[in-house]
Structure 1
Amino acid sequence: MTIKRPRTIQIFLPTGDPSGIRIAEQTTSIIRLIEVPRSEMADFVKMPESKQVGLYFLVSGDNKDELYIGQSGEVGSRLMQHYKDPKKEWEHALVLVSLTNNLTQTHVLYLESLSIEKAKDCQRYDLSNDNSGQKPHTPIPLKADCDEMHSIGSLLLATLGYPIFEPLTESSPSKAEQVFICNRAGLKARAIYTNEGMVVLKGSSAPMLTKRKTEQRFFDKRDALLAKGIISSDGERFEFERDYLFQTPSGASMFLLLATSNGWQDWKTEQGVTLHEFQERTIDSVITQEA
């Protein structure tokens, strides 16, 4: 998890196209992250960074939620192998290199293993790696450097829209997060509203069928999460096997109800305060304190 404090991040567009290659750096760090759309691979291999030792992430899926993590002594050549392999489905590569070109094979082997471990812990992406990487013997000073690189890399990834190593909810005991419940139509669901959307918590459950008027798209979404193992079913109910992020409160409640819903009204605190009312009170409280 990236420590939250003020940072300055620079994003450079070498072609001027915001949907093309993007290069992100923290102004006080030597770590550089390059986002390469698959269609721009020819341009990337011309860049000097493609000849460097590097760590890379391949992202695919309709929701950009499928991930492969790898490393190479010459990252451009390795990505070209992935590019030419018709069985490898990916749309974006994210390449982590050093501005001073001082990464070694030991650095990236350690970073690969650490990244796979952290990505599994966060459970945001479906990881396609068959193993956990090769964790080499790493001297304490080198390990400290790698941990710092991973922290900066995590920040840069999240800045570009890939929060691979960011927990869905706050894990700090000093910051208690408000839990909202939805118990309509046999639901037993708990969730937390974050700046990314609504996180439905592990253990939340709902009936597999509904008597309400519904659409096929709700069943399609449910079946997709069943296939991925994010939810499980006993035939009558389905249950979340891990925390899962929905982009909106309504998206979360509609998924559970298998029908249309206004999540701002259907998610409530245990005291019956709707999410809309809770947010309104929070804003009013801040305005009052500042007055």
Structure 2
Amino acid sequence: MIKAISIAETGYPGVTKITADGWDGQVLRMSYATCCKWIASSAQLQQAGVYMLYADHFDRATHGNQLYVGQSGTIGQRLGQHDGKKVFWTAVMVFSSAGDWMNVAYTVNIERQFIKWAKHANRYELDNRNVGREEYLGQEDQARLESFLAGVQPVLRLAGIDVFEPNMDGTFSYSFPNKVTSQLKILNGSPTPAVTILAGSRIFGLDQAKVSQANLNGVAHDDAGRIHTFHESVDVTLDGPESILKLFDRPVASWKSRSGISLMATLTALHRAA
């Protein structure tokens, strides 16, 4: 288990390196402006790695919150190809091995996992058009990959980097074909996640008897259209997954984040992490 990290300046101004005892990986972090200079210098990495281009603003809601995950066998050269083409990024992180073992067979699998983590976090808008691909690894190589991946999230968490941290303000939406739209969000994480139905949501097909039993305030029912409309200014919170599953007739998978991850998958992931 990783309990401490080291953040140090490298030999190139503006590039910091994050490492941890017991983890055979490293993260280089720098701004967009520094990256443009770094990739043109002799300091750039010639080895394989995975990178993230992302918008690191103090106000992401206003200035954008996109993220792109990529990989390459020659990481410095690949980053140079993005300059001027992806205009949203203000910062970059480069993930590579501390030793000299990482190659493209590893990086394509790491890229795929990073995309998956970022989608589940529901924090950034992914600029990736696909989910990446898998490359076969032998038993020893697979074990090394899993060991590397196991250290990534703890290292970033200790460094205060939130790219893979679940976004509790992210919403999950569901629209019935007749444009009846509802939005939910996870109020808190573990050990018992609560889900809030946002004010103004309109949900089709709820069982009126179950709604009445749940004693939900400010919910109007259109019996003919089978639509429940929630109060325009008051959110409704359901405590615990059991309450959520009991109320909704449709699978909780109906509500999905902007990344396409279902509410059920998110609740399951939070339960496993608890």
CA contact (8 A) 1:207 1:236 kept: yes
Distance 1:117 1:106 in 2: 18
Is 2:187 aligned against 1:191? Answer: yes
Match of 2:244 in 1: none
1:140–1:84 Cα change, 3 Å: same
CA contact (8 A) 2:2 2:151 kept: no
Q: Which amino acid aligns with 1:83?
A: D
Secondary structure of residue in 1 paired with 2:93: strand
Distance 2:116 2:12 in 1: 35
1:102 Cα deviation after fit:
1.6
CA contact (8 A) 2:7 2:16 kept: yes
- Could you say which structure has the higher helix fraction? 1
Is 2:120 aligned against 1:126? Answer: no
Is 2:69 aligned against 1:74? Answer: no
Secondary structure of residue in 2 paired with 1:11: strand
Match of 1:205 in 2: 198
CA contact (8 A) 1:51 1:76 kept: yes
Secondary structure of residue in 2 paired with 1:51: coil
1:7–1:56 Cα change, 3 Å: same
CA contact (8 A) 1:36 1:93 kept: yes
Match of 1:50 among 30, 45, 49: 45
- Please, which runs of 5 or more residues in structure 1 have no aligned partner? 170-187, 195-199, 209-233, 245-291
Distance 2:127 2:35 in 1: 21
Could you give the per-residue CA deviations for residues 85-117 of structure 1, whole angstroms, max 9, x where no partner exists?
Answer: 2x4320111000112222111000111111112
CA contact (8 A) 1:53 1:75 kept: yes
Question: Which structure has more RCO (C-alpha within 8 Å, separation ≥ 6)?
Answer: 2
How many residue pairs are counted as aligned between the two chains? 189
Could you give the per-residue CA deviations for residues 217-266 of structure 1, whole angstroms, max 9, x where no partner exists?
Answer: xxxxxxxxxxxxxxxxx89859896689xxxxxxxxxxxxxxxxxxxxxx
Distance 1:72 1:123 in 2: 25
Q: Which amino acid aligns with 2:35?
A: M
Query: Counterparts in 2 of 1:146-161, with a 5 A limit?
Result: 146-161=145-160
Distance 1:120 1:54 in 2: 20
Match of 1:219 in 2: none
Distance 1:122 1:160 in 2: 17
Query: Counterparts in 2 of 1:1-291, with a 5 A limit?
Result: 5=1, 7-14=3-10, 20-45=14-39, 46=41, 48=43, 50-60=45-55, 62-63=59-60, 65-85=65-85, 87-168=86-167, 191-192=187-188, 202-207=195-200, 237=232
CA contact (8 A) 1:202 1:242 kept: no
TM-score (norm 2): 0.58
Distance 1:30 1:192 in 2: 33
Secondary structure of residue in 2 paired with 1:8: coil
Distance 1:16 1:104 in 2: 24
Secondary structure of residue in 1 paired with 2:17: strand
1:237–1:133 Cα change, 3 Å: farther
Distance 1:193 1:120 in 2: 17
1:68–1:237 Cα change, 3 Å: farther
- Please, which runs of 5 or more residues in structure 2 have no aligned partner? 169-183, 202-228, 237-254, 259-274
TM-score (norm 1): 0.55
Secondary structure of residue in 2 paired with 1:41: helix
